[in-house]
Amino acid sequence: MARIKKLTIASGKIEMFAFNLPGLPDNIRRSGRGTYWVGLAATRSATHPSTSVIITEDDLDIAPDLFSYFLNLRYLLEKDKTLWCVSAWNDNGKPGNIDRIANTKLYRSDFFPGLEWMMTRRTWQELEPKWPGGFWDDWMREPEQRKGRQCIRPEISRTGMTKDGRKGVSGGRFFRNHLSKMLYQLHIGNLFSVSSNTHILLS
């Protein structure tokens, strides 16, 4: 059973913190909401391998409907082989550039958005042997990796950069001028679903 136990140092007491996890826990930290982030290093059972891979970063916050967003769009990656990822991020997602109520509007994009995205197990197996040690988002945008394929990205981002993302090669300037101004979905309970009101446009 994949689980996490809590040790109270003062008393030496050990308690069950979380159990029946879907993968093997690897690293844990507090979130800005008083909850915890837990990294899962591998699927729990080799006999039931995951069919999808979600790649995130440890300085991101996520919208309440992030996983329903991915779950509802996963079928597109099987149905359309010209797609290779579903991203939760809109690089142009500042309030003045988007329709704030169009939370089901989607775009096909030649540009790899990054910042929390999903791909199939098959695509991961293609990329993993040559995965770079750094700057993987730029690497993903190279023709050798993209191979003419496109990504789905939302009108309203499902992820946002936390203050932990201030550090970077620009010394915080890119965060101040761009990343910190992005709007992302914060309406708890308004879960994403595919319906006749869902629009997929060319970007």
Catalytic residue numbers, as ranges:
137
Q: Are 63 and 159 in contact (CB under 8 A)?
A: yes
| Residues 1, 23: Cα–Cα separation, whole Å | 9
Listed in sequence order, the DSSP H helices in 64-120 are: 66-79
Greatest alpha-carbon pair distance for the chain in Å reads: 59
Residue with tokens 């999903």: 118
Q: Sign of dihedral through CA atoms 26, 167, 99, 203?
A: negative
Closest CA to 147 of 56, 59, 84, 94: 84
